[in-house]
Amino acid sequence: MVIIAKPRPVHSKPGISRAAADPAVSRDLNIELAGTELLPGLVKIGSAIAVPGLLAVIAALQMWVLDRRKLGLQKNAASIMWANKLWLLAAVAISLAAAWVSTNWFHRVDLLDAFSWLDLWLVAASSGVAAAALTWITLRVFRIYKPLITEDSSPLDVLRAAARHGPHFERLVYSTSGDNPLYGILVHRDGEATVLTAPIVFSGPSELEDLCSIPKGDERRHLKQAIKAIRKDPAPFKTAKYESNQNWVSRPTTVLSPRLHAQNPECIFHYRGPSA
């Protein structure tokens, strides 16, 4: 950047000509962009400083959206941010944290002082990658305690997920919305979504059949006990299937706003015998 500095005229002194006293000085100065001059005339400093935080929030939300889409929920990061403006505050907070880290840990650039476009996008890209990686790790841990259940999940996967949500065979029944609602047994709640399933029909193993005959309220009537029985003798349960009834959902289904059905809780699986 070239800066031309022209001093104010001075009165001539003896022995000094006016031309010598009034020179035009030109120097090449290496000046980086100051934060207040990053986008002059268009945005204020806050808009530029918020870039790393905005990119981090979008990256994190996009990872969450990809997980939600596996459940059949159509979401996008932009609509989530628009619906909840607190994400913008989070972006500002992340930007300030990124500025502090880049200055004090890496001693590379101070986003609150002077920086170049390269500095800004380097910090922004690093923030986005870090946010995406942290969200991915968080989702992996979340899925350990809340298994992902989709319409392609097997009956055994559904039972395992249900066992983590609650031990009882008998579970609440919900109905889907719409003109022709279908019924489903509660598997678990996955964030804002409710996962429902039809009753699971099985023909074995025999120990699992014995568990079904235990009276309600007995502590042995526990889904974890059912999972143990299947592990001991998994072959008969491989023929297990979802109840084929026009009133039940055909496969595990994700519902956002189900209605609690008035009927009594329903057993999540039933013994039908070898001919089921």
pLDDT of residue 274: 59
What was the pLDDT predicted at 204?
72
Q: What is the pLDDT of residue 116?
A: 62
Q: Looking at residue 58, what is its pLDDT?
A: 92
**Each residue's pLDDT tens digit in the chain (276 positions)?**
434 344 445 444 455 444 444 444 444 444 444 444 444 333 444 566 778 888 999 999 999 999 999 888 888 888 888 888 888 888 888 888 877 777 776 556 555 555 566 677 777 888 899 999 999 999 999 999 899 999 999 999 999 999 888 888 889 999 987 778 899 999 999 988 999 999 998 877 777 778 877 777 777 778 888 888 888 888 878 888 898 888 899 899 999 888 888 777 888 888 776 554
- The pLDDT score that the predictor gives to residue 3 is 41
CA-closest candidate to residue 242, choices 179, 272, 199, 185: 199
The reported pLDDT for the residue numbered 133 is 96
